[in-house]
């Protein structure tokens, strides 16, 4: 019955927040990565050394969450946050010792660490867990015992034993590449950092291909801001402007060779780029402008800043940094599609230069219903054929 589903949902939410407030509000906030490192060194590692003295493993936090991105705050503490990390084992040790290690930690870990409960709820309907007060019995910890190859299969749909072809690079969601780059390995007996370094950023030609597509996305809509405004459609003009601002932000991430996070942390991460001191105030003015002419004038200033920085990369001949009329129409543009074509011609590898102008998966879609499911991402490979 519908009413019963509503009651179940209310009961679930009530449990969730009761657990959160009763286990975390008394503890002083400390960034999750810092908490994870201390938890490993002071609580988890001694147990492993005593109970499994010959075990070769890696330990760290590289999977998901605001804490891995170093964007967590007090608000983040309500779910998938707390004393947590992953222990990575070889395939053999995962089979032979994985369950024993998990169970030993259940028996030996303290119920609290630095004021935070180490005891977590069972997973809710969405797979989410949160800190709960421990009462008795084994600690239901959030130390994940994993095999590195299986983790990368889940995280990126890729095995470190294989090379990465261009299509695979384009189908890796940036958010997942970013967590590997932003996270930390506290102990590395299995030399995981070698693989993480391999994924630090896109290869040169893939980088140029993605950047070309970002300029192309700008070129597809840059004239529409003025066209909508000229017809009295300020709402439509504002929406176009917002998308152009977002395209410019992503372009700046690419120019600085940084992976961009998903939308919740996009502005926060952008503010840390080297270009942000010049560009951030201009982009804010674009979003706040009430009339299309003002919106466009600020956008022209943003183009100028971005083009000057782009020219410093030296990957193509220097571009004119001033906007021009759009084929005789009074809309100021930089002809992003022309810039895209020039960048694509600079790509050396034929197999990358011949790819259709689609970009990577984040440039095709931002739907979490696709980006969070590898079996759906796999089906996107045919687009690059």
Q: What is the DSSP letter of 41?
A: I
Mean pLDDT (the chain, rounded): 92
Q: What is residue 302's predicted lDDT score, i.e. its pLDDT?
A: 98
Under the banding of pLDDT at 50, 70 and 90, the label for residue 161 is: confident
DSSP string spanning 341-366?
A: HHHHHT---HHHHTS-TT--HHHH--
- Distance CA(186)–CA(281), nearest Å, equals 38
Q: What is residue 26's predicted lDDT score, i.e. its pLDDT?
A: 63
Q: Pick from 272, 264, 301, 269: which is nearest to 285 by CA?
A: 301
What phi and psi values does residue 202 have, to the nearest 5 degrees?
A: -60, 150
How many residues would you count in the chain?
A: 385
**In the chain, what are the domain boundaries?**
2-163+187-198, 204-354
Helix (H) or strand (E) run with residue 32 in it: helix 32-39
Lowest mean pLDDT among 70-79, 176-185, 237-246, 319-328: 70-79
Is the predicted pLDDT of residue 131 greater than 80, yes or no? yes
Q: Pick from 164, 140, 142, 141: which is nearest to 152 by CA?
A: 164
Is the predicted pLDDT of residue 7 greater than 50, yes or no? no
Q: What is the pTM of this model?
A: 0.89
- Distance CA(158)–CA(154), nearest Å, equals 8
Query: Which pair of tokens denotes residue 280?
Result: 């951030």
Is the predicted pLDDT of residue 10 greater than 50, yes or no? no
Under the banding of pLDDT at 50, 70 and 90, the label for residue 294 is: very high
Helix (H) or strand (E) run with residue 325 in it: strand 324-326
Residues 190-224 pLDDT 10s: 999 999 999 999 999 999 999 999 999 999 999 99
């Amino acid at each position: 019955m519908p009413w019963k589903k509503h009651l179940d949902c209310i009961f679930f939410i009530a449990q969730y927040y009761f657990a959160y407030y009763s286990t975390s509000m008394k503890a002083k906030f400390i960034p999750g990565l810092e908490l994870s490192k201390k938890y490993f060194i002071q609580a988890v590692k001694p147990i492993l050394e005593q109970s499994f003295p010959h075990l070769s493993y890696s330990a760290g936090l590289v999977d998901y969450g605001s804490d891995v991105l170093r964007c967590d705050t007090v608000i983040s503490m309500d779910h998938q946050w707390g004393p947590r990390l992953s222990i990575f084992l070889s395939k053999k040790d995962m089979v032979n010792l994985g369950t024993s290690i998990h169970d030993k930690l259940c028996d030996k870990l303290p119920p609290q660490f630095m004021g935070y409960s180490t005891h977590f709820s069972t997973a809710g309907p969405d797979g989410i867990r949160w800190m709960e007060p421990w009462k008795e019995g084994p600690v239901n910890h959030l130390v994940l015992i994993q095999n590195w190859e299986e983790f990368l299969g889940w995280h990126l749909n890729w095995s470190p034993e294989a090379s990465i072809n261009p299509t695979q690079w384009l189908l890796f969601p940036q958010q997942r590449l970013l967590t590997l780059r932003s996270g930390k390995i506290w102990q590395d007996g299995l030399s995981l950092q070698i693989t993480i370094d391999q994924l630090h950023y896109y290869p040169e030609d893939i980088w140029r291909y993605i950047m070309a597509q970002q300029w192309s996305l700008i070129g597809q809509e840059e004239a529409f801001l003025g066209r909508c405004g000229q017809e009295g459609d300020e709402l439509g003009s504002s929406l176009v402007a917002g998308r152009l601002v977002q395209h410019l932000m992503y372009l700046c991430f690419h120019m600085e060779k940084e992976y961009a996070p998903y939308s919740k942390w996009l502005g926060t991460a952008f503010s840390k780029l080297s270009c942000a001191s010049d560009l951030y105030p201009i982009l804010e003015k674009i979003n706040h402008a009430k009339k299309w002419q003002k919106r466009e004038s600020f956008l022209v200033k943003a183009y100028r800043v971005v083009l000057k920085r782009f020219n410093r990369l030296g990957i193509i001949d220097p571009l004119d940094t001033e906007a021009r009329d759009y084929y005789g129409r009074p809309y100021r543009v930089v002809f992003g599609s022309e810039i895209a074509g020039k960048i694509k011609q600079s790509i050396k590898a034929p197999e990358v230069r011949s790819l259709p102008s689609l970009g990577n998966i984040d440039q095709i879609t931002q739907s979490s219903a696709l980006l969070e499911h590898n079996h759906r991402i796999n089906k996107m490979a045919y687009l690059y054929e």
